Amino acid sequence: MKRKALHIVSFIGIVILAYFLSEKFFFRWDLTSEKRYSLSDNTKHLLKNLNEEMNVTIYLDGDLNSGFLRLRKATKELLDEFDAYSSKKIQYEFVNPSAGATKEERQKKYEELEKKGMRGIVVYDGNKEGESRQKIVYPWAEITYNNKTKTVNLLKNIPNNSGEENLNISIESLEYEITDVLRIITSTHTPKVAFLEGHNEYPEPLVYDFTQTLSHYYQVDRGTLSGNTNELNDYEAVIIAAPINKFSEKDKFILDQYIMQGGRILWLLDGTRISLDSLSTASQTIGIENDLNLTDQLFKYGFRINADLVQDVQCSMIPVNVSREGDNPKYELMSWYYSPLLLTIPTHPISKNIAPVKSEFVSSINFVNNDNEKIRKTPLLITSTGTHIQNIPSIVSMDVINIERNGYYFNTQNAIVAAILEGVFPSVFTNRMIPTGITTTSPIITESKPTKMIVIADGDVIRNDIQGTGANANILPLGYDRYINQKFGNSEFLLNAVNYLTDDDGWLNLRSREIQLRLLNKPAIIGQRRFWQVTNLLLPLIIILLYGGVFYFIRKKKYTTNISVNKQHESIAND
């Protein structure tokens, strides 16, 4: 009895000690193989520094299919983790936007969400009898903190992916998407980026949509270089969008020394110059090299933009008049091989899980100076396996739409058209004189601090279309193709690119998270539905009954033996 009492007291003592330790030391264990419930150190630090309560409203509730229920469950679990690390400062609720009693009430709620920028998607559901029904789902969250409200799109919708794949990608991206908005809301400092001018780069209207996107994160400025080597030091990154005029040695020096001091540049440079006016009026033009006087500088940094044009079988469409001369115009969509839909590299956080990027008159990129081990070079955008490289100068004609898709003509694959270079860069002005017009008292810096740059061999990747003229002009979203009514991944890719350039804390690495998609065998589910229903219902009962029977048998045998032994002892004692 004393030993039994000691065990009980020890157990109670261990429980009490564990309670006090858990109150003093906070810890959580994630036993999943993908660490799906583990938050990054950056996220934990962000949550611990919340000064006020954060309210989250998730419009993902009600009659949902299994895929959206999985997204809802993952969102709830993530917010529970957020709440644990923020000292209970996260308050959230799930709202069913279709909960209205009447059609008018539901429509009113839909309109309220649409005005806030939260667009619904139509989901077609089918039951086991094959019947189909249509529902509107709003996979959005609304985050409010310190009287600021931002919305988060919880669903990644990448064309050509299955619904299950897109939902899995959405779950992988949840932590990044929510913390991305939370960082914007809680930030007290607004970093600055600049669009460079002075070389006939795209004017503001042609990059208006992306400028608006950047303005949620940065103070966006525009300007020319004056000759002061420190004039770019206040900017986290510089964007050079489709220049046409040559760069002077003075401007090259300013950019070079900016890089040497750790500056970051997003280069969007055309390798070939095309006259679109000539192409639209005469159905053909001549493509010539776009000489920007940057070849030596870019070569020194480790890459070369080739003077060529890339044609690709994976491309966007343009309307072409196919009627005979004199007949009424009849337009059909035809493949425009000069507008490749660029594939995103799935292994880098900038380009992972992004829809193809729309381009036009794009050139290829070669890596050079590959013996320099201080620079790491990674492709971000490539063409498909059906690519043709057209050397320049040559004729660019509308007749390209008549080319057959065959391996003889499209005989190149996966040409690199965008890349990131990271590391320590050499200066192109090493052992050279400082150009005239430069204001500086410091010597030339010949080797950079660790930094990074991104190059895209097409300025059109950042250009938004403008529909109409004058007061009736309408700026279309970046990456939107009005002929097929589809939005491509240009905006998200470029935003990730700028964020990665300016990100010293590794936030964008959250996009590299992978959760293995474990799908059930649907034909087996349908064909063996009754078997598994019966098995799941009866098997636990059978196991419990077997366990109870065995336990009863062992107990009965044990006590029967004890009673027999006691009787023998009593008989011996009586004798």
For the chain, residues classed under CATH 3.40.50 are 192-512
How many Å apart are CA 300 and CA 408, to the nearest integer?
35
Q: Which fold has domain 25-186?
A: Glutaredoxin (3.40.30)
**What pLDDT, on a 0 to 100 scale, did the predictor assign at position 325?**
76
Is the preceding peptide bond at 393 cis, omega within 30 degrees of 0? yes
Strand pairing partners for 123? 135
Could you tell me if 51 and 148 are in contact, meaning their C-beta atoms sit under 8 angstroms apart? no
For the chain, residues classed under CATH 3.40.30 are 25-186
How many Å apart are CA 143 and CA 204, to the nearest integer?
31
The yes or no reply on domain 192-512 and CATH 1.10.3470 is: no
Handedness of CA 265, 266, 270, 276 (dihedral sign): negative
pLDDT averaged per 10 residues in sequence order, the chain, 575 residues? 64 67 52 64 89 91 86 91 88 89 86 89 68 80 90 86 84 90 88 96 95 95 92 96 96 96 97 78 84 96 96 93 80 92 94 94 94 93 96 90 89 96 96 87 90 97 89 89 91 96 86 65 63 78 83 74 60 59
**What pLDDT, on a 0 to 100 scale, did the predictor assign at position 30?**
54
Q: How far is CA 31 from the centre of its chain?
A: 26
How many Å apart are CA 73 and CA 171, to the nearest integer?
10
**What pLDDT, on a 0 to 100 scale, did the predictor assign at position 40?**
85
Q: Is 308 helix (H, G, I), strand (E, B) or coil?
A: strand
**What pLDDT, on a 0 to 100 scale, did the predictor assign at position 315?**
95
Question: What is residue 14's DSSP assignment?
Answer: H
3-class SS string, 23-48: HHCCCCCCCCCCCCCCCCHHHHHHHH
Helix (H) or strand (E) run with residue 185 in it = helix 163-186
How many Å apart are CA 489 and CA 495, to the nearest integer?
10
